[in-house]
């Protein structure tokens, strides 16, 4: 549905702004709290749903504001339990989010942008053009929708959120931060910052900003190569944010927050899986306290890369381990439905 109107979305208001607006219009400020609860916790789809408000107030809201919610356009179920959803936004655009169930956790992998402006050579989202940033409510609603799936399909609450879907979260920083505030707030989902991870391709300036803001949520860096020449070949962001700048930004971030970081490292056969590559990674990872997530490459159409073989993967992991580094291997989930890392490309919706 296309909405053409000048009315603001009520969910673009912070609670204090909504209270001020109510007061200015001669309404009681505490009503703003009730409205806030309806839009952020009780998932009202229309002002008519807000049954503890008087008719006049509902009409007043209707006159001044829009209310929008994400629609689940389609759901795909992997044979490993992973659920990929396509969400349609109020302007008809589509983003994807994934629920990844595991024994002890239910993780939502969510998107921050429609498409992506970066062109990482191994990522399917890069093949879509960058269309727009998601609004805070669109980010939040993905979490709500995926958390419902966790409840309904697995009888378990959502435990973790990772910004590893479509888009570069640090290039939509303001909206991502507002969404995270709502996700953490008692008036929102009340989730702990420890359970939220923002993954970035390495926008050095914004990593410094996270440090300045002393953010508490977790930070993951998509590293994938620890020498400039190789990294620039696969991630053009490295041309403007070389490893030296990334390291400096991370040192600042760590000094301000005291939080260790996670490096994500996809192993590509005969590209970044040699002993020398491991030594470079070990060296880079010493800049700040960190751990390493070795990621299995998920083949993407049109990309020249191949997965490394199990022996080379194990050798690589052992080299890290012998250097005293905590390294885990992340085997991808949901591959049969293109829901794995780097495979989100709106295939079903296009």
CA dihedral sign, ordered 91, 150, 218, 119: negative
Q: How far is the CB of 259 from ligand SAH (least distance, A)?
A: 17
Q: How far is the CB of 164 from ligand SAH (least distance, A)?
A: 4
Please confirm, yes or no, whether 63 is among the known catalytic residues. no
Q: How far is the CB of 9 from ligand SAH (least distance, A)?
A: 25
- Report residue 153 CA to chain centroid gap: 22
Look-up of token digits 């996809």: 266
Residue with the CB atom nearest ligand SAH in the bound state: 342
User: 57 or 320: whose CB is closer to ligand SAH?
Assistant: 320
User: 67 or 170: whose CB is closer to ligand SAH?
Assistant: 170
Please confirm, yes or no, whether 341 is among the known catalytic residues. yes
Q: How far is the CB of 214 from ligand SAH (least distance, A)?
A: 21
Q: How far is the CB of 118 from ligand SAH (least distance, A)?
A: 7
Binding site for ligand SAH (CB under 6 A): 122-123, 164, 168, 199-201, 222, 264, 266, 295, 297-298, 300, 341-342
User: 123 or 226: whose CB is closer to ligand SAH?
Assistant: 123
| CA neighbor of 178 nearest in space, from 6, 34, 11 | 11
DSSP result, 8-44: PBGGGS-HHHHHHHHHHTT--THHHHHHHHHHHTS--
Q: How far is the CB of 199 from ligand SAH (least distance, A)?
A: 4
| CA neighbor of 158 nearest in space, from 98, 199, 220, 94 | 98
| CA neighbor of 234 nearest in space, from 304, 300, 165 | 304
User: 101 or 342: whose CB is closer to ligand SAH?
Assistant: 342
Looking only at the bridges linking them, the beta strands covering 327-330 and 71-77 are unpaired
User: 137 or 338: whose CB is closer to ligand SAH?
Assistant: 338
Catalytic residue (choose from 96, 138, 168, 264): 96
Catalytic residue (choose from 109, 120, 123, 341): 341
CA dihedral sign, ordered 277, 283, 287, 293: positive
Strands (E), 15-165: 71-77, 83-88, 94-101, 106-109, 113-114, 132-133, 160-163
Tokens of 348: 């079903």
User: 168 or 277: whose CB is closer to ligand SAH?
Assistant: 168
3-state SS, residue 120: coil
- The residues carrying an active-site annotation are 96, 341
């Amino acid at each position: 549905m296309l909405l053409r109107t000048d009315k603001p979305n009520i969910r673009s208001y912070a609670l204090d702004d909504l209270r001020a607006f109510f007061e200015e219009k001669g309404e009681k400020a505490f009503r703003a709290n009730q409205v806030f609860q309806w839009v952020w916790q009780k998932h009202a789809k229309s002002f008519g749903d807000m049954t503890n408000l008087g008719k006049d107030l509902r009409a007043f809201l209707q006159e001044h504001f829009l209310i929008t919610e994400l629609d689940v356009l389609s759901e795909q179920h992997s044979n490993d339990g992973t659920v990929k959803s396509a969400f349609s936004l109020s302007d008809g655009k589509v983003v994807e989010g994934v629920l990844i169930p595991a024994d002890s956790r239910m993780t939502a992998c969510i998107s921050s942008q429609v498409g992506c402006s970066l062109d990482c050579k191994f990522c399917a989202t890069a093949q879509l053009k960058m269309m727009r940033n998601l609004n805070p409510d669109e980010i939040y609603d993905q979490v709500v929708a995926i958390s419902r799936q966790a409840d309904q399909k697995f009888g378990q609450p959502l435990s973790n959120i990772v910004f590893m879907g479509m888009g570069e979260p640090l290039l939509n920083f303001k909206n991502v931060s507002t969404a995270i505030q709502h996700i953490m707030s008692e008036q929102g989902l009340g989730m702990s910052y420890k359970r939220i991870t923002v993954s970035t391709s390495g926008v050095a300036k914004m990593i410094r900003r996270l440090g300045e803001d002393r953010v508490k949520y977790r930070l993951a860096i998509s590293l994938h190569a620890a020498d400039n020449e190789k990294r620039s070949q696969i991630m053009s962001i490295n041309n403007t944010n070389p490893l030296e700048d990334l390291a400096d930004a991370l040192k600042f971030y760590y000094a301000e927050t005291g939080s260790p970081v996670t490096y994500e490292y996809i192993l590509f056969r005969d590209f970044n899986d040699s002993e020398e590559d491991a030594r470079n990674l070990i060296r880079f990872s010493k800049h700040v306290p960190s751990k390493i997530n070795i990621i299995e490459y998920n083949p993407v159409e049109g990309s020249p890369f191949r997965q490394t073989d199990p022996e080379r993967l194990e050798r690589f992991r052992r080299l890290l381990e012998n250097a005293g580094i905590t390294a885990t291997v992340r085997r991808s989930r949901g591959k049969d439905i293109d829901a794995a890392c780097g495979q989100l490309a709106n295939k079903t919706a296009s």
